[in-house]
Structure 1
Amino acid sequence: MELVDLLILFIALLLLRLWWRYWSVTGGEPKNLPPGPPGWPIVGNLIQVILQRRHFIFVVRDLHKQYGPIFTMQMGQRRLIIVTSSELIHEALVQRGPEFASRPADSPIRLIFSVGKCAINSAEYGPLWRALRRNFVTELINPTRIKQCSWIRNWALEHHMKRLQKEASEVGYVEVMSNCRLTICSVLICLCFGAKISEDRIKYIEGVLKEVMLITTPKLPDFLPVLTPLFRRQVRAAKELRKKQLECLVPLIENRKVFLQSGGKVNDEMVSPTGAAYIDSLFELEAPGRGRLGEEELVTLVSEIINAGTDTSATTVEWALLHLVTNQEIQEKLYKEIVDTVGKNSVVTESDVERMSYLGAVVKETFRRHPPSHFVLSHAAVTETELGGYTIPADASVEFYTAWVTEDPDIWKDPTEFRPERFLGGGDGVDVDVTGTKGVRMVPFGAGRRICPAWTLGTLHVNMLLARMVQAFKWLPVPNSPPDPTDTFAFTVVMKNPLKAAILPRSN
């Protein structure tokens, strides 16, 4: 070990000693925390979780059975308050939304990519978050703008259908996830920058942004920040990836600036008129505490939109198609509704999918059965408060385990079954509010003040993809290679083995 490493280790151990001394003298925690598993000195429950060699959600499921609807875990220097019950989730996020609307401290690696929390998802509850969110809602997802940009989705879906047919003819099947990611990413890039770019360039940007998502998932230094100096290699890798992210997106920002400064004349690359691209509004935005945004902040904000919209929507389409492939009866019911609504050959429009109740039921059941994540993004109380009769410190990470709500047999009949009919007349999901406002029975987009602001846009993309794909093709298992429903955990809950399906053109 080099001398500098020994010095860093010595300093880290000294800091740990000081921290433990403070912990011992002060009692280390406020009174009346929710119950939880006893931990080890300094590391709390962190090593216990690591030694189980299971994903964190399985640990949480077991602790939920033992400690009930709210419990505490001390993960190194981070205190987690885990909330699992529908009633407490609704109370915290909806009824008392402003009290639980902030975010906990970020890790050094995440701060590199958020430029010090200058992002809608990670900003602390306050003026900056309000300004960023208000601008996003006004400029990208208001009904007028969504309608104005419908041609972008039509263009992308037209290429999507041709690509599926070409891939099937060449290899005998299509890989659902990669195709859907590419299509949704192309839509979001065009919405953000007003630009049409080549598929190769889209794939490169998508790949870089996926790396960003994966590198910002929780890792050991997140729980023991005092040891960050020992993880210089990871920090250096994050900085190199950030540079790569800037290199692939800054040219799109600069091209848009030139386009606007030269009069905004639409051309083959810059296809959206002045004011129709999300980035146009960011150029003019005065962000509280930040002023005019620089390239770093602009890259962070557009990356947030592209990453979140691509990953969750593509994942949902893949899970939905898994069930359509394995249950041809559901697929045929959906196809019949599409044909009854628009016919066999007419192009499905955005207003058409709004009238397709069975399509809506299939998508809702996919969100219920396969929520994009088992937790909503971490919350934090604005000030110390209480929940469920327990103290919630302001510096704790409040983690809402929402997946349990969709699996709870007290809320859903036969919760492990995929049954879209539950969302139609007389079903147990017919009156469900996916925003959680009226009650938490499924919250695929979060709930309350920090609900995903683009949930309507993401749902539209899922609906359009499914309707177009089922109208054009019959989806079947690949011979001798049935779909594998095993899931795994990346940024979202994805299929461990990506879905491959055979497609047959529908007869006209």
Structure 2
Amino acid sequence: MELNLIDLFIIGLSLVFLRLWWRYWSATGGGRKNLPPGPPGWPLVGNLVQIILQRRHFVFIIRELRKLYGPIFTLQMGQRTMVIVTDPRLIHEALVQRGPTFASRPPDSPIRLVFSVGKCAINSAEYGPLWRTLRKNFVTELITPTRVKQCSWIRKWAVENHMKRIKTESFEKGFVEVMNNCRLTICSILICLCFGAKISEERIKKIESILKDVMLITSPQLPDFLPILTPLFHRQMKEAKALRKRQLECLVPLISSRRAFVEKGENPNQEMVSPIGAAYIDSLFGLEPATRGPLGEEEFVTLCSEIISAGTDTSATTVEWALLHLVMNQEIQGKLYQEIVDCVGKDGDIKEEDVEKMPYLDAIVKETFRRHPPGHFLLSHAATKDAELGGYTIPAGVHVEFYTAWVTENPDIWSNPSEFKPERFLHGDGVGVDITGTRGVKMVPFGAGRRICPAWTLGVLHINLLVAKMVQAFKWLPVPDSPPDLDETYAFTVVMKNPLKAVIVPRKGIEV
């Protein structure tokens, strides 16, 4: 009997499956690697199908598995081995005490590599010379105290536009959509910091939309766990390449305009507003990492995109959650307004140094980070070599996932953890908490150790300024018959299922 092409294809696929199964079993069978415990899996696919069939978000599954297998456990997700760490002591040990060992990143999926240009990005670069060069350049050029002060006018300009926009929207609609406005404002700040340019709201919205699509398309998909299936997902790869082309077409003109301004002084439409050397992209033009040589337009787009994307989502989401609690609890909002008035007056200009003198504002923002961390997991880590953690062996290169949301929900660490209570950071269990995790892990909204978000201080500044300005100018109230909703959903960050809408009343004429 002759075999047709379909039969040959099935036999060939079966042989490949058997080969991969044997490699998987040889690597993990018999407990020889002393991996942390975990649920038994199926041949080849491990726990992947079991997770998919539950039709629930991964976070809820992790919470249950933690109860069954303890603070550190293993999931075999297809060909991807994932070690889940939930204990604050183990998180601190891995990220801080033994930071260099757990400071790398696991291999990227083919789609992610399209957008990272082969992991040439601060977030995704493996721990080594390239990452050190990119991170050091970023810190030096964007978040030193001198540079932050030099660029304070950008925040002033963007926040003034923000206040005018929400006032207009309130007049036209009767309410304000918080998230959309905050995203637009923070995105405009970051675009100006990156490219030194003031551009129209229409262009900002276009950039924001494209970068949001990039985040969505690079979220985990089936081929990430079973690379053998990648050829069957050629349509997704085609879509990714088309989106990358749109991303380049959107941002390369800004880069070209900035280069012409830096090298020749050209500024035909007066779009370039930052002096030469004050924009992040200026520092990238001459940067030559030892392992890559001079960077090109693709790398410029990737490096600027990651700053805009990461900074916009986390900051805007935090402002929205903070305002939700101020709307729900007018007493907290009243205390914050009183602090602002005591510091700068009813109509005083809130400067960047002023928010540092507002402890109750600081407490509200910290409690927002604790109660609504931007992500329930940190970005995936990987050990640079086989390492021991919690009495188990963590092989080099496996995905080490730190589930940090459990730390902020843990009643052994926080009293009444589901309650939003800023006072805990003034005289309670939050006093002295180190949000960088250096002294211990009670909350780590920005990660910890070597791979902590390098711009976390800048993000906190943007959040503090926006919240203070909005509360000074307006009293925030719920929309009649539409109370704020605490339900969460999961996008790039943990966001509101129903975005916050609020009524604003100008403070002028209102008694303190």
TM-score grouping bracket, smaller chain normalisation: over 0.9
Distance in structure 2 (CA, Å) of the matches to 1:49 and 1:252: 43
Query: What CA deviation, in whole Å up to 9, does each residue of 1:95-140 have, x standing for no partner?
Result: 0000000000111110100001000000000000000000000000
Q: How does 1:95-110 map to 2 (within 5 A)?
A: 95-110=97-112
Q: How does 1:453-472 map to 2 (within 5 A)?
A: 453-472=454-473
Unaligned runs of 5+ in 2: none
**Quick check: 2:95–2:102 contact (8 Å CA) kept in 1?**
yes
Corresponding position of 2:315: 313
Letter in 1 for 2:273: V
**Quick check: 2:24–2:79 contact (8 Å CA) kept in 1?**
no
Which of the residues 288, 291, 294 maps onto 1:289?
291
Aligned residue pair count? 505
Distance in structure 2 (CA, Å) of the matches to 1:433 and 1:6: 61
**Quick check: 2:35–2:394 contact (8 Å CA) kept in 1?**
yes
Q: How does 1:465-484 map to 2 (within 5 A)?
A: 465-484=466-485
Letter in 1 for 2:86: T
Q: How does 1:385-400 map to 2 (within 5 A)?
A: 385-400=387-402
Corresponding position of 1:435: 436
Offset of residue 57 of structure 1: 0.6
Offset of residue 312 of structure 1: 0.2
**Quick check: 1:12–1:226 contact (8 Å CA) kept in 2?**
no
In the alignment, is residue 221 of structure 1 matched against residue 232 of structure 2?
Answer: no
Corresponding position of 1:504: 505
Corresponding position of 1:491: 492
Offset of residue 226 of structure 1: 1.3
- Secondary structure at the residue paired with 2:374? coil
Distance in structure 2 (CA, Å) of the matches to 1:215 and 1:101: 25
Distance in structure 2 (CA, Å) of the matches to 1:4 and 1:452: 52
Query: What CA deviation, in whole Å up to 9, does each residue of 1:31-86 have, x standing for no partner?
Result: 21100000011100000000100000100000001111100000000000000000
Distance in structure 2 (CA, Å) of the matches to 1:177 and 1:11: 51
Offset of residue 266 of structure 1: 10
**Quick check: 2:105–2:397 contact (8 Å CA) kept in 1?**
no
Unaligned runs of 5+ in 1: none
Letter in 2 for 1:154: K
Offset of residue 263 of structure 1: 3.0
Q: With the length of structure 1 as denominator, give the TM-score of the two structures.
A: 0.97
Offset of residue 507 of structure 1: 1.5
Offset of residue 27 of structure 1: 5.1
In the alignment, is residue 135 of structure 1 matched against residue 137 of structure 2?
Answer: yes
**Quick check: 1:266–1:272 contact (8 Å CA) kept in 2?**
no
Go from structure 1 to structure 2 and tell me whether the alpha carbon gap of 1:100 and 1:302 turns closer, same or farther (over 3 Å shift): same
Distance in structure 2 (CA, Å) of the matches to 1:394 and 1:175: 45
Which of the residues 417, 423, 430 maps onto 2:419?
417
Go from structure 1 to structure 2 and tell me whether the alpha carbon gap of 1:30 and 1:324 turns closer, same or farther (over 3 Å shift): same
Offset of residue 20 of structure 1: 1.2
Letter in 2 for 1:459: V
Offset of residue 346 of structure 1: 1.1
Which of the residues 358, 366, 369 maps onto 1:367?
369
Corresponding position of 1:120: 122
Corresponding position of 1:329: 331
Letter in 2 for 1:160: H
Offset of residue 423 of structure 1: 0.3
Q: How does 1:26-425 map to 2 (within 5 A)?
A: 28=29, 30-263=32-265, 268-424=270-426
Distance in structure 1 (CA, Å) of the matches to 2:210 and 2:441: 35
Distance in structure 1 (CA, Å) of the matches to 2:8 and 2:484: 53
Distance in structure 2 (CA, Å) of the matches to 1:379 and 1:127: 17
Go from structure 1 to structure 2 and tell me whether the alpha carbon gap of 1:210 and 1:27 turns closer, same or farther (over 3 Å shift): closer
- Secondary structure at the residue paired with 1:286? coil
Q: With the length of structure 2 as denominator, give the TM-score of the two structures.
A: 0.96
Go from structure 1 to structure 2 and tell me whether the alpha carbon gap of 1:277 and 1:427 turns closer, same or farther (over 3 Å shift): same
Distance in structure 2 (CA, Å) of the matches to 1:118 and 1:26: 30
Offset of residue 500 of structure 1: 0.4
Distance in structure 1 (CA, Å) of the matches to 2:146 and 2:470: 26
The percent of aligned pairs where both chains have the same amino acid is 72
**Quick check: 2:104–2:382 contact (8 Å CA) kept in 1?**
yes
Distance in structure 2 (CA, Å) of the matches to 1:452 and 1:143: 17
Query: What CA deviation, in whole Å up to 9, does each residue of 1:164-215 have, x standing for no partner?
Result: 0000000100100000000000000000000000000000000000000111
Distance in structure 2 (CA, Å) of the matches to 1:56 and 1:198: 39
- Secondary structure at the residue paired with 1:236? helix
Distance in structure 1 (CA, Å) of the matches to 2:334 and 2:13: 62
Offset of residue 287 of structure 1: 1.3
Go from structure 1 to structure 2 and tell me whether the alpha carbon gap of 1:5 and 1:299 turns closer, same or farther (over 3 Å shift): farther
Which stretch of the first structure deviates more once superposed, 85-94 or 217-226? 217-226
- Secondary structure at the residue paired with 1:97? coil
Distance in structure 1 (CA, Å) of the matches to 2:130 and 2:7: 41
Distance in structure 2 (CA, Å) of the matches to 1:309 and 1:263: 29
Letter in 1 for 2:294: R
Go from structure 1 to structure 2 and tell me whether the alpha carbon gap of 1:457 and 1:10 turns closer, same or farther (over 3 Å shift): farther
**Quick check: 1:30–1:393 contact (8 Å CA) kept in 2?**
no
Query: What CA deviation, in whole Å up to 9, does each residue of 1:349-396 have, x standing for no partner?
Result: 100000000000000000000000000000000000110000001021
- Secondary structure at the residue paired with 1:494? strand
Go from structure 1 to structure 2 and tell me whether the alpha carbon gap of 1:250 and 1:343 turns closer, same or farther (over 3 Å shift): same
- Secondary structure at the residue paired with 2:100? helix
**Quick check: 1:43–1:77 contact (8 Å CA) kept in 2?**
yes
Go from structure 1 to structure 2 and tell me whether the alpha carbon gap of 1:27 and 1:284 turns closer, same or farther (over 3 Å shift): closer
Go from structure 1 to structure 2 and tell me whether the alpha carbon gap of 1:495 and 1:181 turns closer, same or farther (over 3 Å shift): same
Distance in structure 1 (CA, Å) of the matches to 2:9 and 2:188: 45
Query: What CA deviation, in whole Å up to 9, does each residue of 1:260-313 have, x standing for no partner?
Result: 122377973100010000000000101121111011111000000000000000
Distance in structure 2 (CA, Å) of the matches to 1:502 and 1:48: 45
Distance in structure 2 (CA, Å) of the matches to 1:157 and 1:9: 61
Distance in structure 2 (CA, Å) of the matches to 1:345 and 1:316: 25
Distance in structure 2 (CA, Å) of the matches to 1:31 and 1:163: 58
- What is the CA RMSD across the aligned residues, in angstroms? 1.6
Distance in structure 2 (CA, Å) of the matches to 1:5 and 1:381: 42
Letter in 1 for 2:272: M
